[in-house]
Chain A
Amino acid sequence: MSAMGAIIWRELLRFVHQRERFIAALVRPLVWLLIFGAGFRAALGLAIYPPYETYIRYETYIVPGLCGIIVLFNSMQSALSIVYDREMGSMKLLLVAPISRQWMLLSKLIASSSVGLIQVWAFLFIAYFFGIKIEPLGYLLAAPAIFLSAMMLGSLGLLISTFISKLQNFAGVMNFVIFPLFFASTALYPLWRIQENAPWLAKVVSLNPFTHGVELIRFTLYGKLEWVNLFVVFTCFVFFFSLAVWGYQSKRKRLKRKFR
């Protein structure tokens, strides 16, 4: 087994052991889908809007956004576990292993993104029985989009974790990251609707990388691709990851404080 294989294997094994984490990851979007979706169905009528070729139910519209929130929560939880590992000291084992820090961080990201993908597939499987039907090919085509979005959000989590030295601070910061990213995106309402009511917010939404992650997932679920979304998600992934690697280099002062 390679170092990357070992890190992924460990993360998957942890995921299998932590059934509560898996259930919580599914309950959250299902509550949104079944309760929020039903409640807002009447309030938020939808026009025919790409990638959809016909009128759709509100629940169908929010599914890609809920896929997004699953990977968003999973990515931030993974970053939280890195802060925990660092605070408890178990991160040191990774730091003395014969792998570069870039490789170690990339392995961690791939591991958490794989877990995120499994969670999304499980959610889509359950959603199928509540009437959210997607072409079988869509599940496969969306997989790279979900994975890439998870990598981007995971990199953002890693980047945030370089600035945070204490676990309790991290939980607070997450509230300032997860909710603005989620609500200022197209996860719950389409851009044209936001444009009608709050043009300034529409600008914020179109600049939000999470929006592009959600739209990338939305289009690929229906066998389509918007290159702008792919470009933004990939560029943000490279940008966040590069900054996170920079933050984790041993000479950086922040890291020194963490291993004091």
Chain B
Amino acid sequence: MREIHLEDVDFSYDKKTVLKNFNLHIKGGGFTALLGANGAGKSTIFNLISGILAPDKGRVSVGGVDASNRLEQALKIGFVFQENTLDLELSVQQNIQYFAGLFGLKNYKAKSEKLLTEFDLWEQRTEKAGNLNGGHKRRLEIVRALMPSPEILILDEATNGLDPVIRQQMSKQIHLLADQGVGVLWVTHLLDEIEEQDSVILLEKGELRDQDSFFALGGVDGVRSRFTVEKEETLRL
């Protein structure tokens, strides 16, 4: 299983420093939640790991390989973005076909059929992605990310905007994937998506507050007590 390393990373947008001498080591395997309030730097870390952005200083690597090396990394890490990345004018199947072409996947049909069935999207396969409800759209994004059978799945606020019931369902499905051997990094600000055995990384204002299992950190109360600002508004129960 591949490990994620951020070593002495500096990153800033214009004059605003987001990360300064930032170090993070995420062990491979299992379910890890990267938890922090809005503006803590979670999405920046996500964009650095995905190679979309490069650090001003330091190194970001996955499995020992630089994160910006897309040719090496693309099929080993699946990404689910906070924003919609589906083509809403294409059907479910066409979105998958486009993804398969983009990522050079051959003989993808059997795999896509299996995943569409698992994620309850088989009946919608000919529908336009734009006509799907929010939960189905997110599931389709997950199906697509799983198409190359990645070793790691990284999700950035993947349940954003979904109702609590669907959020819980999705969280369970992703935990199930982790149990099946896919390493999961779940970027979130919602505490109710985390289970006791999950590893948790607490992030605040671009700094690592703590890193341990959710249980060892004292569960919901323990995690909340470690944050100093805006916890009522931005860390939801």
A positions within 8 Å CB-CB of B: 1-3, 5-7, 9-10, 13-14, 17-18, 88-90, 92-100, 250-251, 253, 255-257, 259-260
Within 8 A of A (CB), among B147-198: none
A99-B102 contact in complex given A250-B52, A253-B14, C-beta closer than 8 Å: yes
Please pick, from A89, A94, A255, the residue contacting B102 in the complex, using a CB distance under 8 A. A94
Instruction: Check: B79 CB closer than 8 A to any chain A CB.
Output: yes
Instruction: Check: B90 CB closer than 8 A to any chain A CB.
Output: yes
Q: How far is the CB of A40 from chain B (nearest CB, A)?
A: 39
Stretch at the interface among B23-31, B80-88, B203-211: B80-88
Q: Is the beta-carbon distance between B94 and A89 smaller than 8 angstroms?
A: no
Q: Is the beta-carbon distance between A9 and B101 smaller than 8 angstroms?
A: yes
User: How far apart are the CA atoms of A251 and B57 in the complex, in Å?
Assistant: 11
User: How far apart are the CA atoms of A13 and B94 in the complex, in Å?
Assistant: 10
Contacts of B54 in A (CB 8 A): 250-251
28 of the cross-chain contacts (CB-CB < 8 Å) are A1-B100, A3-B102, A3-B104, A6-B101, A6-B102, A10-B90, A14-B87, A14-B90, A17-B89, A89-B85, A90-B83, A92-B50, A92-B79, A92-B85, A93-B102, A96-B50, A96-B51, A96-B52, A96-B74, A96-B79, A97-B74, A97-B103, A100-B70, A100-B71, A250-B52, A250-B53, A257-B14, A259-B52
Which chain A residue lies CB-closest to B70? A98
Interface size on B, residues (CB 8 A): 33
Q: Is the beta-carbon distance between B70 and A89 smaller than 8 angstroms?
A: no
Contacts of A14 in B (CB 8 A): 87, 89-90
Which chain A residue lies CB-closest to B72? A98
Which chain A residue lies CB-closest to B128? A17
Instruction: Check: B93 CB closer than 8 A to any chain A CB.
Output: no
Q: Return the 10 tightest CB-CB contacts between A and B, nearest first.
A: A89-B83, A6-B101, A1-B101, A98-B74, A93-B85, A250-B54, A90-B85, A6-B102, A97-B102, A251-B54
User: How far apart are the CA atoms of A88 and B51 in the complex, in Å?
Assistant: 18
Mark interface residues in B82-125 (1 if CB within 8 Å of A CB, else 0): 11111101100010011111111000000000000000000000
Q: How far is the CB of B95 from chain A (nearest CB, A)?
A: 9
Among B73, B74, B81, B102, max chain A CB count under 10 A is at: B102
Instruction: Check: B47 CB closer than 8 A to any chain A CB.
Output: yes
Please pick, from B70, B84, B86, the residue contacting A99 in the complex, using a CB distance under 8 A. B70
Instruction: Check: B220 CB closer than 8 A to any chain A CB.
Output: no
Please pick, from B79, B82, B101, the residue contacting A2 in the complex, using a CB distance under 8 A. B101
Which chain B residue lies CB-closest to A260? B13
Contacts of A95 in B (CB 8 A): 50-52
Q: Is the beta-carbon distance between B70 and A9 smaller than 8 angstroms?
A: no
